[in-house]
Amino acid sequence: RQFGTNSLHVFEDTGSTTVMELSRKLRAFIRWMRENGIEYSDALAFYEGDKTVAADIGVKALYDLKEGDLIATIPKEACLTVKTSQAAAIIDEAELGGDLGLAVAVMYERSKQQSSKWYGYLQLLPFRQSLPIVWSLIEIDSLLAGTELHKAIKEDRSLIQQDWRECYGILKDLYGEKFLENWFTLEHFLAAKTLVASRAFQVDDIHGFGMVPLADLFNHKTAAEDVHFTSVFDDSNSEEADLSSSPIRNKHDTGQFHGKEADLHLNGSEEAVSSSQNGVENSTGSPSDWEGNTDILEMILVKDVAKGHEIFNTYGMLSNSALLHRYGFTEPNNPFDIVNVELATVSDICCQSFTQRHFRRRVNIWRKTGCEPCSSEGSEYFEITADGRPQAELLMLLYIIHLPDPACSNLLFEDDLVGKATHDVVAENENKLNAVGRVARVLGWSKGLCSQRMLVEDNNGNISAKPGKRKRQTRSSKLTKHETEMLSTTNRKQKKNPSKEPAAQILGELDCWLLTIPVCRCLMSLLLERNSLYPQEEEGSMTKSVQMGSGKNLKDSVDYERTKLENINCEQDPKLFHALSLRLSERTILHKCWCLISERLKSLI
Ligand SMILES: C[S@@+](CC[C@H](N)C(=O)[O-])C[C@H]1O[C@@H](n2cnc3c(N)ncnc32)[C@H](O)[C@@H]1O
């Protein structure tokens, strides 16, 4: 397949300085791509992204594209990595690996300005991406308080400053008089870190992470699954590409891609216009020219893309806090959202009813049985997923805390809960049970033969069981399906969430067994406590008439955040918009969880 002649397609010049400037930069970038062997289909158009989501540039299809179409090839030599950078030797000598090395490579190439091989690419990038790590401390404290990101960003900032100080010293020694101090300031370092966080791809094992020109112009859409990028494999490797995890793949690279993956979202924007002026002539050979060539990355569509639609990448199954953390934006109704409840908060709530000694002792017993919380960077926590379902380990902990002494003591004599469980009459099912299931079995749970069955309620209110599995996710602030309720493209406000209150079918049999009356009450206190971490004072007028300690607080919090978000223009104030959007999604999860638990409680009383 030949790419043919690439016309230059950029969005229409409206006369605005910004638009004209971006247009000029795009033309320079297109020339640079041609000079550096980057080839792409003439069906691709670069256009000003949908401003309601504040994405500056995006890529759309100028005509219908088909699944399997090769839309671009990018030589690895054109990627900016620690191996290809002119600073490779210094970065190697300074032993700066990973993101840090790449940030230094970006800074170094920027310092070289027009003499850098990547000037034509770098001039297109913003100086920095507006990620929370470059927000002011006041913004971080006022916008992110209570969210999953607040602590993480503060920690990141101090670690980055530490990294910069160390790097600065090492590089100054190594560069000697060639060291261009003005280009290695903390501001430059932070800026480079934001570009690496939001744009770098894993190129291969040798190059590691790198800036991949062109590939990094595609915007993200969560799990839209219309199309994925993929690539062919070399003859010696007949494995199928893991399309769900590999956007760009070296033909010889069988490893999982750990960065961004690709998919398509259909966006009706017609901002792109075509112009043959300064067109890029990419008269290339057929793909067979490249077969077996390990030095080239390919981008192949795996689904049809209709003319005029944006071609979206997906950066992974990420919660809103992870999206905001690494890319500076959020998505409404993100199904990969999570709220975490710290073990310390569980302690605070339980110690209102029990002694600290009792709490510590029960936590120890709970740990001994093989249960554990999630942990990350020294903190221990439990997850509540987007549907409001609390992590089973948390339910088990609350259950054990509320157990009468004799029952709990029995657990102490269960040295080998796994062993015990496998001798059960339902031994063949036991290996399917996790630690929580095994402990529950020892404690007398006998109803469910499969711990992960969902209770499904039909229209008549009859409950039946259907197999299901709780999706485990990574911590929302570190990493992370999309029911599309897009931000309105016309008024740039979020639509009112029409979703109904969550129903009890989300809880599995084991969840319900663990949710005794005291466990439900304790969990509800925990939810209120977690909700109180968000700034309350602004809500004062709204909530003072509300009975404290009730689920109405949570519902009011959600309504409050939604109303606020509706009045923010994403384009004018993206930081506030995405911070509020994060708060809304987190508080919605807390409310969903509250509804689940209170429904369960009602059924018990
Ligand atoms: C890899 S770049 C994608 C190209 C980018 N739009 C540009 O102008 O170069 C990633 C950045 O694009 C923006 N972005 C990507 N997808 C987005 C989305 N769905 N909503 C808002 N911003 C998005 C964010 O600023 C993110 O940090």
- Taking the centre of ligand 1 as the mean of its atom positions, its distance from the CA of residue 421, in whole angstroms, is 50
CA angle 411, 412, 415 (to 5 degrees): 95
What's the rounded Cα separation, in Å, for the pair 162 and 75?
A: 35
- 153 touches ligand 1 (CB under 6 Å): no
Q: Which H helix or E strand runs over 573?
A: none
Atom of ligand 1 nearest to the CA of 57: 8
- 448 touches ligand 1 (CB under 6 Å): no
- Taking the centre of ligand 1 as the mean of its atom positions, its distance from the CA of residue 75, in whole angstroms, is 23
What's the rounded Cα separation, in Å, for the pair 267 and 310?
A: 5
Residues 6+ apart with CB under 8 A from 85: 91, 105, 108, 109
- Taking the centre of ligand 1 as the mean of its atom positions, its distance from the CA of residue 557, in whole angstroms, is 29
Pocket test for ligand 1, best of 22, 26, 229, 327 (most atoms within 8 A of CB): 327
Q: How far apart are the first and last CA of the chain?
A: 69
Atom of ligand 1 nearest to the CA of 198: 27
- Output the six-digit token pair for 551: 């689920």
Find where tokens 């399917």 sit: 432
- Taking the centre of ligand 1 as the mean of its atom positions, its distance from the CA of residue 594, in whole angstroms, is 34
Pocket test for ligand 1, best of 329, 492, 577, 578 (most atoms within 8 A of CB): 329
> Which residue ranges of the chain lie beneath pLDDT 50?
1-2, 5-17, 52-54, 225-227, 230-292, 418-432, 448-503, 540-548
Short-list 13, 1, 50, CA closest to 486? 50
Supply the pLDDT for residue 228. Answer: 52
Q: Whose CA is nearest to atom 10 of ligand 1?
A: 198
Pocket test for ligand 1, best of 47, 195, 219 (most atoms within 8 A of CB): 219
What's the rounded Cα separation, in Å, for the pair 311 and 301?
A: 9
In the three-class reduction of DSSP (H, G, I as helix; E, B as strand; rest coil), residue 242 is classed as: coil
The pLDDT tens digits for 341-383 are: 999 999 999 999 999 999 999 999 899 888 899 998 788 999 9
The pLDDT tens digits for 490-539 are: 222 233 333 444 445 677 888 888 999 999 999 999 999 999 999 875 55
DSSP string, 452-502: TEEEEE-TTS-EEEEE--PPP---TTT-------PPPTTT-SPPP--PPPP
- ipTM, interface predicted TM-score of the complex: 0.99
- 56 touches ligand 1 (CB under 6 Å): yes
- 220 touches ligand 1 (CB under 6 Å): yes
What's the rounded Cα separation, in Å, for the pair 409 and 210?
A: 55
Instruction: List the beta bridge partners of residue 160.
Output: none
Per-residue CA distances from 243 to 41, 259, 309, 483, 569 (Å): 21, 13, 21, 21, 35
C-beta of residue 13 within 8 angstroms of C-beta of residue 20? yes
Domains parsed from the chain with CATH numbers: 1-79+212-316 (2.170.270.10), 81-200 (3.90.1410.10), 338-420+472-604 (no CATH)
Atom of ligand 1 nearest to the CA of 313: 16
- 388 touches ligand 1 (CB under 6 Å): no
- Taking the centre of ligand 1 as the mean of its atom positions, its distance from the CA of residue 220, in whole angstroms, is 7
Supply the pLDDT for residue 55. Answer: 53
163 burial level (CB within 10 Å; 0-12, 13-18, 19+): middle
What's the rounded Cα separation, in Å, for the pair 297 and 232?
A: 9
- Taking the centre of ligand 1 as the mean of its atom positions, its distance from the CA of residue 53, in whole angstroms, is 8
- 216 touches ligand 1 (CB under 6 Å): yes
C-beta of residue 334 within 8 angstroms of C-beta of residue 246? no
What's the rounded Cα separation, in Å, for the pair 334 and 220?
A: 13
What's the rounded Cα separation, in Å, for the pair 557 and 531?
A: 8
C-beta of residue 336 within 8 angstroms of C-beta of residue 98? no
Atom of ligand 1 nearest to the CA of 125: 9
- Output the six-digit token pair for 526: 């925990």
Supply the pLDDT for residue 549. Answer: 53
